[in-house]
């Protein structure tokens, strides 16, 4: 089955930045994890592009071949019905047509033949690059032109070098260069290209973060206007803002009759436990496959023994020496850091045996809470004199037990709600959210606003009582959390 096609949302700022590429003659590089929406953003930009669009895709198993994305893009161009007219307008000299014939033999029209063995000799690559450049310039004289290389992280060295050459050419032609890539691995050829173009001011990097709660709610409204709140909460809890996972969850909901064609949401079937469709499971497997054997063993042990464990237990269960377990935790935290930089709160993990700091990374979504518990608390379990969870303020405890993780921004909203409404109102609103399976602060706040506007028996005349934030941050997680202003270890 095909994944659900989501309405395009949450990327307006990125689209506006892409619109500046042609005039600045820079490479627009859309970066992000698998399923974050890189290709979709490029497609939406090119859908409204007024001009010729050339698209080539790089593939993992074609890295040993020279120029596959470029060949694909040019071949699609010459297959267009209007190619004869475009070719005449480009007026490409025979010498450059012969060079292009090394990539596409079908371009030959009886002139200088391509090499009989079809090889792309390295000592003639500069002529080939210039031939591609001359073709693009010729086409751009009559039309705005866009070239997209999708999945640039799989591109071969020849394609990367040609792309850098094209971007560097001094021209006033309206040519837009665009590419998508996963997070760039250091000390690779792609990293070298990006570093070089950055120094030269010839690249616009657009790292994509996960969709926010507002965008997720818009999607929920699109598919189920009547049940938008519970659907948005379910999607947020299980997808954590990943467009790919959101689409797969909606397909799952449709196939399993959670979401009916008319937008009705079957609340009785909507589970509070995590949902992992098979396609998403495969994606997670691929990411886990990139971990070392020791890191994978530590993850497996964490899944079995639960969220709180000590170093000795993990070492024994994973059949690893303690130094190897610490190295594995370093690796897992570094992996989490790469994905979590796009979020907002800082979690600082310390190994108390020697006091060394492992890593800063961000944990402020319910989906990431499990990661923090299983990995970050491995250090907390070693810390002496940890305070009991019950030391936290009652409202925060109530919210986290029934709704989800309290983020710093949500903490401010809870404080305002305590000042504005009676405490039992808030407790009743949380219970109503649980009964409706709409576990989100947005739903709870709407309930409170409705009661305040249309009345309950008692008025919202609660005296102010500020939340003791230090009591929370110095509780059971006090050894893990520091103030965001403390950046001495960053």
Same domain (yes/no): 146, 267: no
Whole-number Å distance between alpha carbons of 386 and 479:
8
Residue 407: phi and psi, rounded to 5, are -90, 165
Residues 438 and 337 in one domain: no
- What are 177's strand-pairing partners? 27, 147
The torsion region of residue 138 among left (phi > 0), alpha (psi -120 to 50) and beta comes to alpha
Is residue 235 assigned to a domain?
A: yes
Q: What is the domain range of residue 298?
A: 291-380
Contact 182, 201 (CB under 8 A): no
Q: What is the CATH number of the domain that holds 435?
A: 1.10.10.630
Q: Are residues 88 and 143 in the same domain?
A: yes
- Number of structural domains found in the chain: 4
Residue position matching structure tokens 């050419």: 169
CATH number for the domain spanning 340: value is 1.10.10
H-helix or E-strand spanning residue 175: strand 175-181
Query: Is the domain of 192 the same as that of 67?
Result: yes
Residues 136 and 223 occupy one common structural domain: no
- As a 3-state breakdown, the chain gives helix, strand, coil percent values, each rounded to 5, of 55, 10, 40
CA 483, CA 313: separation in Å to the nearest integer? 31
User: Distance (Å, rounded) from C-alpha 239 to C-alpha 283?
Assistant: 13
Same domain, 308 and 443: no
H helix or E strand, kind and range, residue 360: strand 356-361
What are the pLDDT tens digits along the chain (490 aa)? 555 788 898 899 999 999 988 788 899 999 998 889 999 999 999 999 999 999 999 999 999 999 999 999 999 999 999 999 999 999 999 999 999 998 998 876 544 445 444 455 555 789 999 999 999 999 999 899 999 999 999 999 999 999 999 999 988 889 999 999 999 988 899 999 999 999 999 999 999 988 888 899 999 999 999 999 999 988 988 887 889 889 989 988 888 888 999 999 888 777 665 676 776 767 667 667 778 888 888 877 776 665 556 778 888 888 888 888 888 877 776 665 444 444 333 344 444 444 443 333 344 444 444 444 444 444 444 444 444 443 345 677 778 777 877 766 677 788 888 888 888 888 888 888 887 777 788 889 888 888 888 776 544 443 333 434 444 344 444 444 443 333 333 3
Residue 431 lies in a domain: yes
> Are residue 54 and residue 153 in the same domain, yes or no?
yes
The residues with which 207 forms a beta bridge, in sequence order, are 31
- Residue 277 to residues 3, 126, 146, 287, 369, Cα–Cα distance (Å): 11, 48, 36, 16, 20
DSSP state of 96: H
CB 27 within 8 A of CB 162: no
Exposed/middle/buried for 399, CB within 10 Å: 0-12, 13-18, 19+? Answer: buried
The verdict on 224 and 301 lying in the same domain is no
Q: What is the CATH number of the domain that holds 105?
A: 3.40.50.300
Verify that 202 and 217 share a domain, yes or no. Answer: no
Tell me which DSSP letter residue 383 carries. Answer: -
Report d(CA 386, CA 475) in Å as an integer: 7
Can you tell me the distance from the alpha carbon of 388 to that of 240, in angstroms, rounded to the nearest whole number? 29
- Please tell me whether residues 202 and 264 are part of one structural domain: no
The string of pLDDT tens digits covering residues 58-94 is: 999 999 999 999 999 999 999 999 999 999 999 999 9
Residues 182, 233, single domain; the answer is no
The beta-strand segments (E) located in 18-57 are 27-31, 52-57
Pairing verdict, β 175-181 and 145-150 = parallel
- What are the tokens at 150? 């999708």
Exposed e or buried b for every residue in 57-85, given b needs 16+ CB within 10 A?
Answer: bbeeebeeebbbbbebbbeebeeeeeeee
CA distance 262 to 277: 22
Domain boundary among 327, 350, 380: 380
Neighbours of 342 (CB within 10 A): 15
In a domain, 113, yes or no: yes
Q: Which residues have CB under 8 Å from 45's CB, separation 6+?
A: 15, 18, 19, 178
The dihedral region occupied by 46, where left means phi > 0, alpha psi between -120 and 50, and beta the remainder, is alpha
**482 in any annotated domain:** no
Paired residues of 55 in beta bridges = 148
What are the E-state strand segments in 10-152? Answer: 27-31, 52-57, 145-150
Q: What percent of the chain has pLDDT over 70?
A: 71
| 466 assigned to some structural domain | yes
Say if 385 falls within a structural domain. no
Counting beta carbons within 10 angstroms of the beta carbon of residue 228, is it exposed (0 to 12), middle (13 to 18) or buried (19 or more)? buried
Q: Which residues of 440-460 are buried (b: 16+ CB within 10 A; e: fewer)?
A: bbbbbbebbeebeeeeeeeee
Tens-digit pLDDT profile for residues 13-65:
999 999 988 788 899 999 998 889 999 999 999 999 999 999 999 999 999 99
| Domain end point (choices 207, 223, 254) | 207
225 is a domain residue: yes
Q: Is 429 left (phi over 0), alpha (psi -120 to 50) or beta?
A: alpha
Contacting residues for 278 by C-beta, under 8 A, at least 6 apart: none
Sign of CA dihedral 149, 155, 157, 158: negative
* Radius of gyration in angstroms for the set of CA atoms belonging to the chain, rounded to a whole number: 28
Within this chain, do residues 201 and 255 fall inside the same structural domain, yes or no?
no
Q: Which of 166, 189, 207 is the last residue of a domain?
A: 207
Domain assignment of residue 6, yes or no: no
CA distance 45 to 19: 8
CB proximity list for 114: less than 8 A, separation 6 or greater: 98, 101, 102, 105, 108
Q: How far apart are the first and last CA of the chain?
A: 45
Q: Are 219 and 246 in contact (CB under 8 A)?
A: yes
């Amino acid at each position: 089955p095909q994944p659900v096609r989501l309405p395009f949302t949450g990327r307006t700022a990125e689209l506006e930045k892409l619109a500046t590429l042609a005039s600045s003659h820079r490479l627009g590089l859309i970066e992000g994890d698998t399923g974050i929406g890189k290709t979709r953003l490029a497609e939406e930009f090119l859908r409204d592009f007024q001009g010729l669009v050339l698209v080539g895709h790089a593939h993992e198993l074609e890295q040993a071949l020279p120029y596959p994305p470029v060949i694909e893009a040019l071949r699609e161009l010459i297959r267009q019905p209007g190619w004869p007219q475009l070719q005449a307008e480009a007026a490409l000299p025979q010498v450059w047509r012969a060079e292009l014939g090394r990539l596409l033999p079908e371009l030959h029209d009886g002139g200088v033949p391509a090499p009989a063995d079809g090889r792309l000799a390295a000592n003639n690559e500069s002529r080939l690059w210039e031939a591609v450049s001359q073709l693009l310039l010729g086409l751009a004289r009559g039309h705005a032109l866009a070239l997209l290389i999708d999945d640039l992280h799989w591109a071969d060295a020849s394609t990367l070098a040609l792309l850098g050459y094209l971007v560097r050419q001094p021209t006033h032609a309206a040519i837009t260069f665009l590419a998508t890539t996963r997070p760039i691995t250091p000390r690779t050829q792609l990293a070298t290209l990006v570093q070089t173009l950055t120094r030269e001011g010839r690249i616009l990097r657009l790292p994509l973060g996960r969709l926010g709660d507002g965008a997720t709610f818009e999607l929920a409204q699109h598919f189920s206007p009547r049940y938008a709140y519970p659907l948005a909460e379910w999607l947020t809890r299980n997808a954590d803002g990943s467009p790919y996972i959101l689409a797969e969850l909606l397909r799952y909901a449709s196939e399993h009759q959670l979401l009916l064609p008319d937008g009705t949401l079957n609340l009785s079937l909507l589970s509070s436990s995590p949902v992992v469709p098979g396609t998403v499971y495969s994606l997670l497997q691929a990411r886990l496959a990139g971990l070392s054997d020791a890191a994978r063993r530590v993850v497996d042990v964490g899944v079995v023994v639960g969220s709180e464990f000590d170093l000795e237990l993990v070492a024994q269960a994973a059949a690893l020496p303690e130094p190897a377990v610490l190295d594995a935790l370093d690796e897992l935290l570094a992996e989490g850091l790469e994905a979590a930089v796009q979020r907002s709160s800082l979690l600082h993990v310390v190994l108390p045996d020697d006091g060394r700091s492992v890593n800063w990374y961000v944990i402020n979504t319910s989906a990431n809470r499990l990661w923090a518990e299983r990995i970050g608390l491995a250090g907390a379990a070693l810390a002496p004199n940890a305070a009991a969870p019950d030391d936290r303020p009652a409202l925060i405890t109530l919210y986290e037990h029934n709704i989800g993780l309290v983020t710093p921004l949500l903490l401010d909203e809870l404080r305002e709600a305590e000042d504005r409404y009676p405490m039992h109102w808030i407790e009743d609103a949380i219970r109503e959210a649980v009964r409706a399976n709409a576990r989100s602060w947005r739903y709870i706040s709407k309930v409170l606003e409705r009661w305040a506007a249309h009345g309950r028996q008692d008025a919202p005349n609660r005296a102010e009582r500020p939340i003791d934030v230090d009591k929370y941050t110095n509780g059971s997680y006090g050894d893990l959390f520091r103030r965001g202003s403390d950046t001495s270890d960053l």
